[in-house]
Amino acid sequence: MHKQHPKGLSISDFTYHLPEEKIARYPLLERDASKLLIYKNGQITEDTYSHLDSHLPENSLLVFNNTKVVEARLLFTKSTGGTIEIFCLEPDERYADITSAMLQKGKVFWKCLVGGAKKWKEEFLIKAIDNEQQNIELSAKIEEKRNDYFLIEFNWNAGISFAELLHHAGVIPLPPYLNRDAEEKDKSTYQTIYAKHDGSVAAPTAGLHFTEKLFEKLDAKNIQRTYVTLHVGAGTFKPVKAATMAEHEMHAEFIDVDASTIQQLIAYTDKTIVAVGTTSLRTIESLYWMGVKVSTKYEVGNKQMQDDLYHSPLTINQWDAYELPQDISVLDSLNSLLNWMKGNDLSRIVAKTQIIIAPGYELKVIKGLVTNFHQPQSTLLLLVAAIIGGDWKKVYNHALENDYRFLSYGDGCLLWK
């Protein structure tokens, strides 16, 4: 069993002082010129991303998240002249997954935050969109107000998908801590060069440092690449307000992984697998626990867990990784998952994960992580501490003292477990 359960962790132990001037407002002109801090066996060395290949063993596997950031902020002008902002968080449950919701034409229901909701008096808000081929009219209407979001019905008079509509009508949702409006160039700089599947409201920022030139250097060293999709939700910025993790509800996100990627992971279990970004890491570690769920008919005192297992073996809940059996090998788990997929005639897995990786968690599949520097008191900082223990303070102090740039557009690190 694990040494400790993170429920009792106090978030105040995972804080540090981040001065405003250390937050990178804009990216560097050359993506791979960003600094790279390497942490291995308690030692810190420094380089740049352009030399990442020299810090990875030959014949290792890098796992990237190929989600694409959508222009999720829609600004509507009321008839009285005021502005109402609708921030599209995720699709309503009536759609099987984000991709099918993004492909809807003419009408869609979306969970949203609304800025200026009190001023929304008319039933419909209308926005005219000047597309090259045609004039499109988009209307928004509140279907329902729920606890912490609004369910909005969008209608538009053109045969384009919701993803295309957002591309024409929306604004890239830059993280709030950048304290600036999105500019035209953010459409390309706040997107990885391999972004493919529409659905995120935040970039998987570790991937922003990769260039075609760096990919060529990785290829030359036989460092393979594979892709998973985790659509990053706004919850990634949600600060932990609870005193202990037991009271914090981890945000759930959609993952989408095909069978060939799982086969690749199996082929590299005895080699080195490195996650590029916390989202890739959470996706791969979630796959391991899915395999545990489908491979065990374990007896659990927890009725909720038995029900979850029966109804949706692929949903990973917040504490599953600490409460499921701990003794199943990576190989057995991933093979069980593949066999389960075959038995259910599935070529890919689309599921929700709420996994929380914090001190007390032992990485199952991954040996290392490439990631940016994260906010104080965030679940992302807990994840870093799960990999390198208390040395996260040493790493962050080094970065602060040596002019590293922090957060989404900042520098990064390669952390070995």
pLDDT by residue for the chain (417 residues), tens only, comes to: 444 789 999 999 999 999 999 999 999 999 999 999 999 999 999 999 999 999 999 999 999 999 999 999 999 988 888 899 999 999 999 998 899 999 999 999 999 999 988 889 888 999 998 777 778 999 999 999 998 899 999 999 988 999 999 999 999 999 989 999 999 999 999 999 999 999 999 999 999 999 999 999 999 999 999 999 999 987 777 778 889 999 999 988 999 999 999 999 999 999 999 999 999 999 999 999 999 999 885 444 455 555 555 556 789 999 999 999 999 999 999 999 999 999 989 999 999 999 999 999 999 999 999 999 999 999 999 999 999 999 999 999 999 999 999 999 999 999 999
Distance CA 293, CA 314 (A): 8
Structure tokens that stand for 219 in this block: 């290829």
Nearest by Cα to 375 from 124, 93, 19: 19
Q: Can you give the residue ranges of every domain in the chain?
A: 6-68+191-416, 72-171
The two tokens of residue 397 are 């102090």
Rounded to the nearest angstrom, the gap between the alpha carbon of residue 137 and the centroid of all alpha carbons in its chain is 32
Q: If residue 137 lies in a helix (H) or strand (E), which one and from where to where?
A: strand 135-145
Q: How many CA atoms lie within 13 A of 381 on its CB side?
A: 28
Q: Is 398 exposed, middle or buried (0-12, 13-18, 19+ CB in 10 A)?
A: middle
Q: Could you tell me which residues come within 8 angstroms of residue 297 by beta carbon, excluding any fewer than 6 positions away?
A: none
DSSP 8-state class, residue 31:
G
pTM: 0.93
Using an 8 Å Cβ cutoff, are 265 and 291 in contact? no
CB atoms within 10 A of CB 276: 26
Q: Which CATH class is domain 6-68+191-416?
A: alpha beta
Rounded Cα–Cα distance for residues 293 and 297 (Å)? 8
Q: Closest Cα to residue 44, out of 331, 345, 388, 279? A: 388
